[in-house]
Amino acid sequence: MEKIPYDEILDIQRKVDIVDVISEYLHLEQKGKNYFAICPFHDDHNPSMSISKEKQIYTCFVCGASGNVFNFVMNYEHISFAEAVLKVAQKAGIGLSVKNISKTIVKESKYDKFYKMFEIANKYYQNNIKTVYGKAASDYLNKRGITPAEIKEFEIGLSLNDNNVNKLLKSKGFDESDIVDIGLCGKKDNFIYDTFRNRIMFPLHDSTGNVIGFSGRIYNGEDDSKYVNSKESVIFKKGKLLYNYKRAINYAKEEKQIIVVEGFMDVIRLSTIGIKNVVATMGTAITKDHADLLRRLSKNIILCFDGDKAGQKATLAAIEVLEKIDITPKIIRLEEDLDPDDYVIKKGKEAFLNHLKNPMSLLQFKIDIEKKKTDFNDYNDISNYVNNIAGELEKINDKVVYELTVKKISKETGLDVETINSLISNIPKKERKIITKPKSIKKNKYEKAEEYLIYYMLKKEDVILLYQNKVSYLTNKKLAMIAIKILEFYEQKHYINVTDFSLFLQDEDELIKEVLRIDGLNMPDEVDDKVIEEYIKTIDEGILKREIEKTKNKISMEQDTIKKVILLEKLATLKKKECK
Ligand SMILES: [Zn+2]
């Protein structure tokens, strides 16, 4: 994303009050200096979110959600940071800045002409299906249970064998080369022809609602390819596109859940039975970009890919990407290798709703896969089965779930519960708490020193300078990033305070959260230089200690005697340093 100039953001932020803005979304109660609300970012029953008028910051002490006024609007409305800035500016009636920001949002205005071309083509196709030429196509759709309501909602259209898109776009002054580049037309021996002919047209929209491509399906006669898709272009990237994203935003918010399917026909089919919080990956593997978009819709994600082997593989791949951003999806597997579209046609609405009400946990899904591979009459198979799922069992942190799962496996395999337990190194001891507070893992003194240093860097210029001169790096990656950003901010602005610094971080939600968490630590405001020096010393010790551990590990792994000697020498030098 292109960054909006910091000064503009600051200017807007100074002109609005976070309390006014949030009160448009939530009911606020004043208690002392602060305001409180039911947190919209977790399943909250008591007001857990506090809004500080003084700092212009919101923080939820249960789920850890926090940020400035723009972060709130961005996260609440599931829009980009730039869009949130624009929205807040409009609320505040700030005209001049809005113009500049709109430019940033609409950015790359050089792509405007491409969006226009797709829009014109989309309107043309949509009109075709309503004419007499479209009768066969709309009959075909109706026969497949796609009613005029879906045709309208999903802007389904029809391409004819008339080469009219090419003519239409040229008559509106678009360049032939652009029309070909963007994939609406092809060119052969100086002859320009429409890419899509005699196909039912499904427009593909980007996350802000612009049409950026089409998928065209045959409906009469035979063709080698059932579907033809627009080629990738400067505006159409499959790895960034989720079909139906824009329409699904509000439904996902209502249902507090988003369902992910593979194909756009699955989305349309589920819409016919009233399920509208659905997006499709268009048959590509889920990317990091997809995952980020999904997280904006809801953290409660259900993967409902095709029921076949390929669908299972795609599900596993998607799980891996989602787990990297701390999302544990639930899974629906459909019987008889069916995709959701065919499933609803063949088995009906109730059967699908039943799946939706009882999605599988990730654990269940993974155990199921292993189970299918196992012959429970074969001892070797059983041994493999238990060893393969041991890793999954280790991840369970709910004692009840753990015990029930192990009992079930014991029954299946005929193994003692103790034998299975002996394979697991991390058996949960406590029942999971219903409210999961932000994890307060015990931190060692080195980690604490890094946090405290950041705490004072956020408040005192001389600590920033001390950091710059005396600290080489921090071992905690997030804190290291924050330190770099503080230096950047200070170099440009020559001052520091937490609120303005959070504006500087723009849409880097995770960093902002961490900054505000550290800012909320209970520490004395005034601090002696000696204390800071002590933190820095501890941090250096930590780094040295880690280096020593690493070297020791290397030594134990090293086979080559000469290399081992070199490592031992290094270890000796490090240890000497440690003693100083
Ligand atoms: Zn919360």
69 pLDDT band, cuts 50/70/90, is very high
What is the rounded distance in angstroms from the CA atom of residue 333 to the CA atom of residue 501? 46
Strand order across the beta sheet in which 34-37 lies: 29-31, 34-37, 49-52, 57-60, 66-67
1 pLDDT band, cuts 50/70/90, is very low
- For the ranges 234-248, 264-278, 389-403, the one whose mean pLDDT is highest: 264-278
Same fold, 6-106 and 445-540: no
% of the chain exceeding 70 in pLDDT: 93
> In angstroms, what is the span from residue 42 Cα to ligand 1's centroid?
5
**What residue has token string 């600590």?**
463
> In angstroms, what is the span from residue 82 Cα to ligand 1's centroid?
23
> In angstroms, what is the span from residue 43 Cα to ligand 1's centroid?
7
> In angstroms, what is the span from residue 37 Cα to ligand 1's centroid?
10
| Total-model pTM | 0.64
> In angstroms, what is the span from residue 22 Cα to ligand 1's centroid?
14
**What are the boundaries of each domain within the chain?**
6-106, 109-236, 240-360, 365-423, 445-540
C-alpha 574: how far from chain center: 42
> In angstroms, what is the span from residue 449 Cα to ligand 1's centroid?
28
What is the rounded distance in angstroms from the CA atom of residue 314 to the CA atom of residue 306? 9
Which of 24, 19, 10, 23 lies closest to 53 in space, CA to CA? 19
What tens digit of pLDDT does each residue of 8-50 get?
A: 889 889 989 999 999 988 889 999 999 999 998 887 888 999 9
Q: What is the pLDDT of residue 96?
A: 46
Q: 240-360 — its CATH code? A: 3.40.1360.10
Which of 340, 271, 335, 268 lies closest to 304 in space, CA to CA? 340
**What residue has token string 């779930």?**
401
Going by DSSP bridges, is the β-strand pair 330-331/301-303 parallel, antiparallel, or unpaired?
A: parallel
Query: Which segment of 20-34, 77-91, 460-474, 526-540 scores lowest on mean pLDDT?
Result: 77-91
Q: What is the DSSP string of 405-470?
A: HHHHHHHHH---HHHHHHH-S----SPPPSS-PPP-PPPPHHHHHHHHHHHHHTT-HHHHHHHHHH
What is the rounded distance in angstroms from the CA atom of residue 152 to the CA atom of residue 66? 40
> In angstroms, what is the span from residue 333 Cα to ligand 1's centroid?
31
User: At the topology level of CATH, where does 109-236 sit?
Assistant: DNA primase DNAg catalytic core, N-terminal domain (3.90.980)
Compute the average pLDDT of residues 431-445.
57
435 pLDDT band, cuts 50/70/90, is very low
Compute the average pLDDT of residues 385-395.
83
What is the rounded distance in angstroms from the CA atom of residue 439 to the CA atom of residue 454? 19
CATH top class, domain 6-106: alpha beta
Which residues are close to ligand 1, an ion, with C-beta < 5 A? 39, 41-42, 60, 62-63, 65
What is the rounded distance in angstroms from the CA atom of residue 324 to the CA atom of residue 110? 35
> In angstroms, what is the span from residue 47 Cα to ligand 1's centroid?
9
> In angstroms, what is the span from residue 256 Cα to ligand 1's centroid?
14
CATH top class, domain 445-540: mainly alpha
Which of 359, 346, 163 lies closest to 258 in space, CA to CA? 359
Integer distance in angstroms from the first to the last C-alpha of the chain?
48
